[in-house]
Each structure stands twice: as structure tokens, then as C-alpha cells.
Amino acid sequence: MSEKDERQRARTGWWVFAGLAMLTAAEFALSAIVRPALPWLILTAILKAGLIVIFFMHIGQLRHQGRAE
């Protein structure tokens, strides 16, 4: 992997981290303001799980591996 690719992946990782932090802050605010908060908290939890699965667990790259072989 080239240095440019590594920098791009690191930048993407930081953006995903920032997104997760913002969603966590939104969860905190929703739990304090909205009643009942559970449906909104479930939605933000699903969004956070999706970001983690796609970017940090590299699920999105699995379909590309089959083409490379």
C-alpha cells in the first residue's frame, strides 16, 4: 500500500471517529431531552454499529477481495 493510500485510510479513520463522537454526544443529549428516548437511542446505536462494522471491521472490503483473486 502506498503512503498516499495509508494517509487516506488514516484520514477516513479520523472522520469515522469524529462521527462516532458526534453520535455519542447526540445520544447523551437525546437521553436528557427527549422522552421517550429509546427509539432514538436505538437508531443512533444502529448508525454507530454500522460505521464500526463498515470502516473498522473492514466488511466493505470483503466483496473486493473476491475480485482480486
Q: Does residue 40 surpass a pLDDT of 80?
A: yes
pTM of the model: 0.72
Q: What is the pLDDT, as a whole number, of residue 66?
A: 60
Find, among 50, 40, 58, 42, the residue nearest to 20 by Cα.
50
Helices of type H across 1-69: 3-33, 38-51, 62-68
Find, among 7, 10, 57, the residue nearest to 48 by Cα.
57
For the chain, the domains span 3-63
Mean pLDDT, residues 30-52: 91
Give pLDDT tens digits for 6-36: 888 889 889 999 999 999 999 999 999 988 9
Find, among 60, 30, 59, the residue nearest to 44 by Cα.
30
pLDDT band for position 67 (cuts 50, 70, 90): low
Sort residue 35 into left (φ over 0), alpha (ψ -120 to 50) or beta: beta
